[in-house]
Amino acid sequence: MSFTKIKQKLKEFTINAGTDPSINTNEQLKEIERNLGNQLPSDYKDFLKGYGGCYLESKKTTDEIEYDVCYKPIEKDPWMGKGDDTQLLEGFYGLANDHSSLQKAIDTYSDRFPRNIIPIASSAGGNEICMDIDNEKILFWDHELSHPDKDFFLIANSFEEFILSLVDEPIETNEHGSDVEIEILDNDFGKLLFGKDN
């Protein structure tokens, strides 16, 4: 795994990162790994140190058309339409102690995910992009399903493969030309974003 490939791919996007220079990233990572009882993949740790808690924006957006950053999963999830081959990436969790805190996300979903699976980013509709830290696979978690063995769908075989799958997709608009909006109804996701129930 090469972090160089990840850095190169990320140059294709505008990166909005809420970095906090007071954070000791190495200490934060050690604490997360202690809590998990497992090591995070080195390329993911490098990503957290350099970009954690970031949102990616397309550089292709113009006054005429807006683009989202999406990923191409190996396995389609139930939220994808028949003709869709991509899914929306909303934002990554990071090391800062704010709404995008990786540790808060792990704590929020600890009773819903197997111990080896952690959320690393948010996706559309209150769903999560997760990592299986035992085998480093990246998974999509459907928050509406209730069978832990069937709630996850394979996105990529590694964090690097996931990042390399990122693409720009034009945002769909309705017949009036305005953006299509999605209402977030999942309470756990609302707690994670806003620190309280919806």
Beta bridge partners of 119: 130
- Closest C-alpha among 59, 61, 53, 58 to residue 23: 53
Which residue shows structure tokens 């590694």?
Answer: 158
Question: Is the pLDDT confidence value at 139 over 90?
Answer: yes
Q: What is the pLDDT of residues 96-115, one digit of tens each?
A: 877 789 999 999 999 889 99
Sign of CA dihedral 12, 13, 14, 18: negative
- List, in order of start, the domains of the chain with CATH numbers: 3-169+179-194 (3.40.1580.10)
Q: What gap in Å lies between CA 69 and CA 56, rounded to an integer?
A: 7
Q: Is residue 9 within 8 Å of residue 164, measured between CB atoms?
A: yes
Cite the beta strand spans of 40-95 per DSSP E.
54-58, 67-71, 87-92
Torsion-angle region of residue 195: left (phi > 0), alpha (psi -120 to 50) or beta?
Answer: left
Q: What is the pLDDT of residues 9-39, one digit of tens each?
A: 999 999 998 665 556 788 999 999 999 999 9
CA atoms within 13 A on the CB side of 162: 24
**pTM of the complete model:** 0.82
- Closest C-alpha among 146, 103, 140, 98 to residue 122: 140
Residue 195's pLDDT is: 61
